[in-house]
Amino acid sequence: MSATLRTAAPPGPKRSGRGPLAVVFGGGALVLVAVLGSVMAITGASISCLGSGAGGGSGPAGPIPSKTAVATIPVSRLKLYELAGRRFDIDWTFLASIGTQECNNGECAGDNGSGCGGPMQIAFVPDTRCSPGPGPTLWDVYKVSAFGGTPSIDDPADAVFTAARILRQDMGAPPTGGSYEAYYRAACRYYGACANAAANYASEVMARAVQFGFHGPGTPAPTSSTGAQPAPNPPGNGSGCEAGSIAISGTGDQRIVQIAESQVGQAEHPDGSNCTKYGPCEGWCALFAAWVWQHAGIPLPGGTAPWAYSGTIYTWAKGHGGQVLPPSATPAPGDAVFYGTGPTDSVHVGIVVRVLPNGEIETVEGNYDNRVERVGPFPPADATRGWETAPIYGYAQPPSPSTTIGGLDA
């Protein structure tokens, strides 16, 4: 494994979504399915559980996230670490520490120059320093699709799940509750050495895992006893969801934001092909928006293919219990934001994830420089000034989510 870090490229000019004359209804639709074979109801204070769909058993939840973990790991990534920890019975704090060490919980898409890549820097290119010989590589042998579909090394969920499987089935990581020494040795194997001139790898991973909440036998005292204390009301862990499921908490709008943000960095494969996990190989900004809403329980029917033209999402929300707002209105997180001159000339769509006190918005958008990107903050009235190729013509607030949520075949 390589500890070389590579940050995601900054967003560039977007390519417009599909125009209205190119709308296609029919084949390629994604089907709402329960990833674990059952649909789990929203419980308590709007808590829903999304199944893993990955192979392997289901382990215990692991340590409660510490104050340090909650403060430093994005909530969507924290939940992935917890889910993978349960699915493969590995201490999620150890998995999270490796993800922090390798990519600072970011994307790190593509080859790092040594044949490793993705958020967990897994060997995937044969005949390289990361994977000497013709293969198969570690990725080839152990790759996992966390939520169904074709595994992608650049997908954070697939990368985290695959790393968990590699560590348990190839690197000797013990089950959740295993000793500090056993996990230390697994870190050495993952890196290829316990330490070298670039990093004191295993010691750094384990020290951080302890700060995140690791407390297996033989664990030394944390460097910050306050930071290692369990966080009050941590996200995800202890939600009452069944083993092997991930908690998405909050209102429907909050779920939309969490799901959209979990996809940042997802790209076309190959680049320029318009092929993604969100639907058919075509302009996909609206496919992405539909995928996010559907994952959050918004009852857009028929998978994503019928929603490949962004204006159809706007008109559907207007006619099915949602609310459409003019460009002068203040949107809410979870709303879809539409660019163009109107629903019959709609060229792009994104998801609002943050509204600042000064009125600026931050969005997550598909098909932005061929990737899912975080855009902004920017003033809505000046969206075309360096951010978008068309002005905002409106927003759509979705209707209330359905009372049960299954996984989407991703």
- Residue 9's identity, in one-letter code, is A
pTM of the model: 0.52
Distance CA(366)–CA(265), nearest Å, equals: 10
Tokens 């990833």 map to which residue? Answer: 35
Domains of the chain, by residue range, sit at 53-247, 251-405
Q: What is 251-405's CATH superfamily?
A: endopeptidase domain like (from Nostoc punctiforme) (3.90.1720.10)
Q: Which of helix, strand or coil describes residue 310?
A: helix
% of the chain exceeding 70 in pLDDT: 78
Q: Which tens digit of pLDDT belongs to each residue from 302-337?
A: 888 999 999 999 999 999 888 899 999 999 999 999
Rg (CA), the chain: 21
Average pLDDT score over residue span 10-35: 29
* Torsions phi, psi for 187 (to 5 deg): -65, -40
Picking from 17, 16, 84, the residue whose alpha carbon sits closest to that of residue 308 is 17
Which of the four pLDDT bands, split at 50, 70 and 90, describes residue 4? very low
CB 46, CB 252: distance < 8 Å: yes
Distance between alpha carbon 23 and the CA centroid of its chain, in Å?
28
Task: Indicate the pairing of strand 361-368 with strand 245-248.
Answer: unpaired
Question: Is it the case that residue 2 has pLDDT exceeding 90?
Answer: no
Q: What is the pLDDT of residues 144-169, one digit of tens each?
A: 987 666 788 998 889 999 999 999 99
Domain 53-247 in CATH 1.10.530? The answer is: yes
Residue found by looking up tokens 């042998």 in the block: 141
Residue 297 confidence (pLDDT) = 82
Tokens of residue 173, six digits = 């990581």
Which residues fall within 8 angstroms of residue 66, CB to CB, at 6 or more apart? 211, 212, 213, 227, 228, 229, 230, 231
Mean pLDDT of 179-186: 97
Phi, psi of 311, deg, nearest 5: -65, -25
Question: Using an 8 Å Cβ cutoff, are 95 and 109 in contact?
Answer: no
